[in-house]
Amino acid sequence: MILYSVVILGASGYGGGELLRWLSTHPAVGSIRGTARALAGKPFWAAHPNLNGIVDGCFEADIDWSEFKQVEQPIVFSALPHGELAQRLPELEAAWEQAGIHQRLLLVDLSGDFRLKDAQVFASAYGGAHPCPEHLARFVYGLPEWNRAALGGARRVASPGCFATALQLTLLPLRGLDIGWMAVTAATGSSGSGASPSAGTHHPLRAGDFRAYKVLNHQHLPEVRACMAAVGIKGELAFVPQSAPMVRGIFASLQFPLPAGMDLAGLQARAKEVFRDAPLVRLVADSPRVGAVAGSAFADLSVAARDGSGVVLCAIDNLGKGMAAQAVQNMNLALGLEETLGLRIPGRYPG
């Protein structure tokens, strides 16, 4: 087996730390380098104390891509803040081309920068023009549960984030149906806002609180709608994101009128069928639990139906299946490795 060389851009953040955690025990990864500005020269464990004694290496301010000329299959994960990779990509592509690695290099982006195909939809979702719209079409959307076939051999992957992943997983059992109107709420933990402290992540403000935000107006809805269109789900989707007093996790709850002729058994059969070949989705009875998936790459799902109403519930770790673990799943698929290689690790329970 080839041992791959990996670079993580933005390795000192929460996503970077999770990538280091997953990739350091991945059997196909031989070396990992990571960039960060503030901690350049410091060991990885300076930002990620859980990796002390586990992952060697120091943050680097920048990478000299000519050092990768001889590398058979370079892999780059970008865990930079929103908008940052889109600003830097033209320069990076030029450097990769100069080093002769641009065609074989696999880039997996964890941000929302390249998830939408349409530059106008991007501008209205994110409130500004895309810096390099000519690159949008090159990225394959990385939700394996509906796009697995397109990921094989891909070299530019836009890996969806936590809300988008949880919402799409709840919707997939409804593929091919005209539902009319659906409502989804999803509660996120504080690590969803990244490592830099803000009012949205400050412990005293969150620990005893629960609130909604960006009601009906979350920037990741357009990518969810794109998935709905691709899998033939018709209907309006009303999304209320919520901020929950937990560190890790997304808990999504989709509610919809049951289509004529569908009962609980029918909905269960649809969920079973749509996730039959999805090794990281577990169908559970009653409610999925954030505590059972935290720290893992799994998404737990359950369905309910009664008196004309249908429900699909989903719990993921926002930093796991909602971010870094899914990016590694996409790497595995793009390289033709087993989809769950390095990812079949249980969460902690209790969390």
Catalogue the active-site residues.
162
Instruction: For ligand NAP, give the closer residue by CB, 49 or 261.
Output: 49
Establish if 195 lies at the interface with ligand NAP (CB under 6 A): yes
- Binding to ligand NAP (CB under 6 A) within 70-89 occurs at 79-82, 84
Establish if 16 lies at the interface with ligand NAP (CB under 6 A): yes
Establish if 12 lies at the interface with ligand NAP (CB under 6 A): yes
Q: How far is CA 9 from the centre of its chain?
A: 16
Q: Shortest gap between Cβ of 151 and ligand NAP (angstroms)?
A: 18
Establish if 42 lies at the interface with ligand NAP (CB under 6 A): no
Instruction: For ligand NAP, give the closer residue by CB, 12 or 147.
Output: 12
Q: How far is CA 43 from the centre of its chain?
A: 26
State whether the Cα torsion 203-204-209-214 is positive or negative: negative
Q: Shortest gap between Cβ of 228 and ligand NAP (angstroms)?
A: 20
State whether the Cα torsion 112-115-120-124 is positive or negative: negative
Give the pair of three-digit tokens for residue 120: 């106008």
Burial of 291 (0-12, 13-18, 19+ CB in 10 A): middle
Q: What is the DSSP string of 225-247?
A: HHHHHHTT-EEEEEEEEEE-S-S
Establish if 142 lies at the interface with ligand NAP (CB under 6 A): no
Burial of 71 (0-12, 13-18, 19+ CB in 10 A): middle
Q: Which of residues 5, 170, 191, 332 is near ligand NAP by CB under 6 A? A: 191
Establish if 14 lies at the interface with ligand NAP (CB under 6 A): yes
Q: Shortest gap between Cβ of 265 and ligand NAP (angstroms)?
A: 35
Establish if 161 lies at the interface with ligand NAP (CB under 6 A): yes
Instruction: For ligand NAP, give the closer residue by CB, 13 or 173.
Output: 13
Burial of 277 (0-12, 13-18, 19+ CB in 10 A): exposed
Instruction: For ligand NAP, give the closer residue by CB, 174 or 323.
Output: 323
Binding mask 289-318 for ligand NAP (x = CB under 6 A): -----------------------------x
The arrangement of strands across the sheet holding 29-35 comes to: 59-60, 29-35, 4-9, 74-78, 106-109, 156-158, 140-141
CA-closest candidate to residue 8, choices 96, 62, 78: 78
Q: Which residues in this chain contact ligand NAP in the complex, by CB under 6 A?
A: 10-16, 36-39, 79-82, 84, 110-111, 161-162, 191-192, 194-196, 318-319, 322-323
